[in-house]
Structure 1
Amino acid sequence: MEYTHLGRSGLSVSRLCLGTMNFGWKTPEADSHAIMDRALAEGVNFFDTANVYGRSAGRGRTEEVIGAWFAQGGDRREQTVLATKVYGTMSDWPNDSLLSARNIVRSCDASLRRLQTDWIDLYQFHHSDPATPWDEIWQACETLVAQGKVLYVGASNHAGWQLATGNAVAARRGSQGLVSEQSHYNLLTRQVELEVLPAAEHHGIGVIPWSPLAGGLLAGVLDESAGDRRKDEHVQKRIEQHRPALEAWEALCAELGHAPADVGVAWLLHRPAVTAPIVGPRTMEQFEGGLRAVDISLDDATLARLDEIFPGYRPAPMEYAW
């Protein structure tokens, strides 16, 4: 496994991030624990979760599953760079969502209890909250850092200008600011190339792409063996919308001799500012497949061909201005 620094920080993380969103509801607890054990064995030390994950099993369930895994000992917690998030609604009461100082501090304490740990390596804002001033957000984060409960702070689903503003306010306060941004980024969803990636590069913010396979569309969905992915009506509409590109994509992957899912993740590893794509398996088989991506090298000709199939964007304003 390869490692890199998370943005401009000194924290070393694996080039793949284990996403745990399925753990505890789609993936049973025992299977989730087995995947996390395998991840550490393979050198994947970067795990991502969120306080709201758990869906039908209840908000917070995924963090509880991870906490039970940490409780087994064996240096599991010490070897893991743990990232979780705050923002989502945890109850029907006001102040139990978004990024008020109250919710940030109280949600952190609740996550620590569920995760059975004393600290969170990377505490992330799951979405932007324009109604809450950055000074208030940083006040809460500075308190958590001073208490040793949080080591680094990151964002998710933020615009480039929000990343720049947030770090400008943090610098004024003498805080480190954001070291990471989780963005929706894959070959089919490339809008972050306009503003977010340039801002991240400029400010030393590591990008952690989520949905690297576009909800399965880049995982070989045209293959007859794709199974249940093809049956969903929404997926079928998306397939038809992108069929010419997907046909060219799967033909290119066959020519390269690699599974489409592996090439999709590998492409992200070649992109500027990207630290680690999030691989979110439901099964051990899916996780094992994702590991192959770090060993795939794409030459300039292949990268150019991918840009032809899935056109991207130049950094703003060059994309739209003279």
Structure 2
Amino acid sequence: MDYVNLGRTGLKVSRLCLGTMNFGTPAWRPWVLDEAASTPVIQRALDHGINFVDMADFYSIGVGEEVVGRAVLKKASREQLVLATKAYYAMGSGPNDEGLSRKHLFDAVDASLRRLQTDYIDLYVVHGFDMHTPVEETMRALHDIVCSGRVRYIGASTMYAWQFAKMNHVAERNGWTRFVSMQCQLNAAYREEEREMIPYCVDEGIAVTPFSPLARGLLSGAPDSLRNRTDGFTRSFYDDDTSLDIARAVNRVAQRLGVAPSQLALRWVMDRAGVTSTLVGADSPAQIDDAVRAMALRPEASDYAEIDAWYTPCDVINDHRNAHRIPRRSIAMR
């Protein structure tokens, strides 16, 4: 396993980060693995030297953190792990059970610490941009949480570049803790973050930790999987001509190279400019093995060109406009 600095920090993270949205309870989503099925997958990732584990309180509404926390601490000492979790989405029906208010962030971080059975979180990530809370309130709350020792670093996820820049600017202006990482969606079928977000992160020395390298499973080569059939995000984000043409191109190139489409799709993300550590999800220990083997792939520029030729621009994917996305059509390969 290779390790790199998380942005301009001294924190070393593995080039692959274990995504954990599918660990917890199938009562939340039908494709989620229960604890018995999750634990071998999580521990195989640790066996390969993956030390970076990404969670969120929202995953299985807290059960995900409990399952992952127990699995990793059975296998490794706390000091050897870089544990990340997120807050923002609703964890209950109350008016203060979501968002980035000072109240919710303080409540959320304490609840995550209890579920993870740890005294601190290495990277605490805001899961989205809160349109209803002043940025100053959010950034001061995050700074105070860091100063309290409960969190070591802070990051953000899934927002417009201008929102991310504004939050960091407010923190810098007031001498508060700045974000060190951005977790954004990036894959061969969705590249809009390469326009503004990733160049901003490169310029500012902020780590880029992309999620969904397989486009919610579309690029896995298994279109009939339970995840592809039941995950509403797959249909709403990638049910268009362009995405399907790109998936077919990934399959063609992978077959020619003699590798799995999922490995090629993952390597494509790892090779993008600015990418620090790529999140990978897995339903079995064998899928972890495949992801690690992808690190050794060295596709030619012409291989990537065959995939990239089908891309056309689309809307930015985030919660503020997903219900109004514009369908796109692919460009015939020239």
| Shorter-normalised TM range | 0.7 to 0.9
Residues 161 and 39 of structure 1, relative CA distance in 2, 3 Å threshold: same
Say how many residue pairs are matched: 305
Alpha carbon RMSD of aligned pairs, Å? 2.3
- 1:80 is matched by which residue type in structure 2? L
- 1:103 is matched by which residue type in structure 2? H
- 1:36 is matched by which residue type in structure 2? I
Describe the superposition over 1:63-102 as per-residue Cα deviations: whole angstroms up to 9, x where unpaired: 1112323553x64322110000010111111111000011
Residues 233 and 168 of structure 1, relative CA distance in 2, 3 Å threshold: closer
Contact kept? 1:70, 1:116, Cα under 8 Å: no
Moved more, 235-244 or 32-41: 235-244
Q: 1:286 Cα deviation (Å)?
A: 2.1
Matched, 1:22 2:28: no
For 1:176-191, what aligned pairs fall within 5 Å after superposition?
176-191=177-192
For 1:87-126, what aligned pairs fall within 5 Å after superposition?
87-126=88-127
CA distance in 2, matches of 1:133, 1:181: 20
Aligned residue among 63, 69, 72 for 2:71:
69
CA distance in 2, matches of 1:231, 1:146: 44
- 1:4 is matched by which residue type in structure 2? V
Aligned residue among 33, 39, 49 for 1:43:
49
Contact kept? 1:20, 1:47, Cα under 8 Å: yes
- 2:68 is matched by which residue type in structure 1? I
TM-score, normalised on structure 1?
Answer: 0.87
Q: 1:177 Cα deviation (Å)?
A: 0.5
3-state SS in 2 of match to 1:136:
helix
Moved more, 79-88 or 273-282: 273-282
Residues 228 and 82 of structure 1, relative CA distance in 2, 3 Å threshold: closer
Moved more, 263-272 or 274-283: 274-283
Q: 1:242 Cα deviation (Å)?
A: 4.2
Match of 2:4 in 1: 4
Contact kept? 1:164, 1:203, Cα under 8 Å: no
CA distance in 1, matches of 2:227, 2:191: 22
Contact kept? 1:161, 1:199, Cα under 8 Å: no
Percent of residue pairs bearing the same amino acid type:
40
TM-score, normalised on structure 2?
Answer: 0.84
Q: 1:298 Cα deviation (Å)?
A: 2.5
Match of 1:316 in 2: none
Contact kept? 2:216, 2:228, Cα under 8 Å: no
Q: 1:175 Cα deviation (Å)?
A: 2.8
Contact kept? 2:242, 2:311, Cα under 8 Å: no
CA distance in 2, matches of 1:9, 1:139: 20
Residues 197 and 221 of structure 1, relative CA distance in 2, 3 Å threshold: same
CA distance in 1, matches of 2:119, 2:229: 44
3-state SS in 2 of match to 1:215:
coil
Moved more, 197-206 or 228-237: 228-237
